[in-house]
Amino acid sequence: MASINLIEAFQDFKEAENIDRPTMMKVVEDVFKTLLRKKYGSDENFDVIVNAEKGDLEIVRHRIIVEDGAVNDPLAEVPYSEAVKIEPDFEVGEELYQEVEILDFGRRAILAAKQTLASRIGDLKKNVLVKKYSDRIGEIVNAEVYQVWKKEILLLDEEGSELILPKSEQIPQDYFKKGESIRAVVKKVDLKNNSPVIILSRTSPSFLSKLLEIEVPEIFDGLIVIKKIVREPGERAKVAVESYDDRIDPVGACVGMKGSRIHGIVRELKNENIDVINWTNNTQLLIQRSLTPSKITSMDLDSEKMQANVYLKPDQVSLAIGRKGVNIKLAQELTGYSIDVFRDNEGEVEEFDIDLEEFSDEIETWVIDEFKRVGCDTARSVLSLTPEELERRTDLERETIDDVRKVLKAEFEKE
């Protein structure tokens, strides 16, 4: 049998499981029919037979046997005298089937055909990959770490397709090793040098949304709807949820018994704090809820300017602002309002006070940050608490607290 071994090319097809067999056969047929047209001027009287399992190919030429001298179309007809040399029993009017030696095309043509075939297979695999992941944007995928670089991580999915997790899409606390299995959401599909690049993300709000959908059946079933998610990856996230069933508490359902549902998500997100709040169309109430865990005393709203002035007790100010200002930043993103926080001095005679930041040349920054963490962001707010109370609420040594109080008192004595 005259055949050409195309095992390598067919192996590529087998590996690309998503390329269906009819498509595969059509591509191979097209490539070799092009060869036939170049050699014979037409491919009408040729059959290209592909055996994908064995990885070989056969070309059969068929012509009608006619009387000698009666050949009008050499491509479709063969003279009787030539036919009987192949098989003596042939008669005029019968059809002659004859295998075409692939090697007759010439080594250069065969090589070109194999290169064209490999190129067509590559294009098909790219198209399949683009379609597969374009349809999965916003979904979570599991992939294995194949290579870790400074700016990105190369992952392989279950079919060996390459996926990219850029550093910018990783949670700051993420640390992965080769061979480790990780979860991320498909963010987008790019084309680079005509090749598909699948970009994953662990910082996208949709990643948290999908994790909640997995952990909370009521969300998956549509009984609870996630209205909005805002995140500062690795730090804090706020999730506003609403229930379509009055019997279901959306916040309780998301958190689970003793936090059973939310704990797994928090671990996945490297201990990111997740505030789940009830969504409401009441702007004032939504702002109040979005500033959790702080408790608001009062609020002034300007709906036209989308501005909210929020008043809190002194010990609630730092809670509202949050570490590095994350809490108030997320509250603004969630509500769409610009929020300013003020101390509630109602019923008190306003006294001269000094921001703790003003003492940064005498008090170390980390000590100031620790005071601010518990709501003491001014000199008087520190002095208003006893040393024992400050020691209990902060992680500072008593000696450090006493030293700070001396510095602050000395400043007021100067005044």
Task: Look at residue 2 in the predicted model and tell me its pLDDT.
Answer: 38
Looking at 107, 131, 155, the residue that finishes a domain is 131
9 with 124, same domain: the answer is yes
Given this model, what pLDDT does residue 212 score? 95
Query: What pLDDT is stored for residue 13 in this prediction?
Result: 53
**Does residue 237 contact residue 273 with C-beta atoms inside 8 Å?**
yes
Same domain, 388 and 300: no
* Structural Rg of the chain based on CA atoms: 37
CB atoms within 10 A of CB 134: 13
Q: Is residue 225 part of a domain?
A: no
Closest of 125, 141, 156 to residue 18, by C-alpha: 125
Residue 339 lies in a domain: yes
- Domain limits for position 186: 136-201
Chosen domain end from 80, 100, 131: 131
pLDDT at 59: 83
Q: What is the rounded distance in angstroms from the CA atom of residue 367 to the CA atom of residue 346?
A: 29
CA separation for the pair 181, 163 (Å, rounded): 13
Q: In 3D, which of 148, 212, 231 has the Cα closest to residue 182?
A: 148
Tens of pLDDT, residue by residue, the chain (415 residues): 334 455 455 555 555 545 666 677 777 778 788 888 888 888 888 888 776 666 567 788 888 888 887 888 888 888 888 888 888 888 888 888 888 777 777 778 777 777 777 777 777 778 878 888 999 999 999 999 999 999 999 999 988 889 999 999 999 999 999 999 999 999 999 878 778 899 999 999 999 999 999 999 999 999 999 999 999 999 999 999 999 888 899 999 999 888 889 999 999 999 999 999 999 999 999 999 999 888 888 888 888 989 998 888 877 888 888 887 899 999 999 999 998 888 776 544 446 678 888 888 888 888 888 887 666 778 888 887 788 888 877 888 999 999 999 988 888 776 5
Cα–Cα distance, 137 to 134 (Å, whole number):
6
**What letters, b where the CB count within 10 A reaches 16 and e where it falls short, cover 36-48?**
beeeeeebebbeb
Does residue 186 share a domain with residue 70? no
**Residues 30 and 81 grouped into a single domain:** yes
**Measured between alpha carbons, how far is 136 from 189 in angstroms, rounded to an integer?**
10
CATH number at residue 337: 3.30.300.20
Examine the domain organization and report whether 96 and 147 are in the same domain. no
Residue 274, domain member (yes or no): no
Which of 182, 201, 220 marks a domain boundary? 201
- Residue 233 resides in a domain: no
For position 155, which CATH number holds?
2.40.50.140
In a domain, 270, yes or no: no
The count of domains in the chain is 4
Q: At what angle do helices 326-335 and 314-321 cross, to 10 degrees?
A: 70
Residue with tokens 């190129």: 119
Q: Do 123 and 10 share a domain, yes or no?
A: yes
Same-domain pairing of 110 and 143: no
CATH, residue 15: 3.30.1480.10
Tokens 């998500």, residue located: 265
Answering whether pTM is above 0.75, one says: no
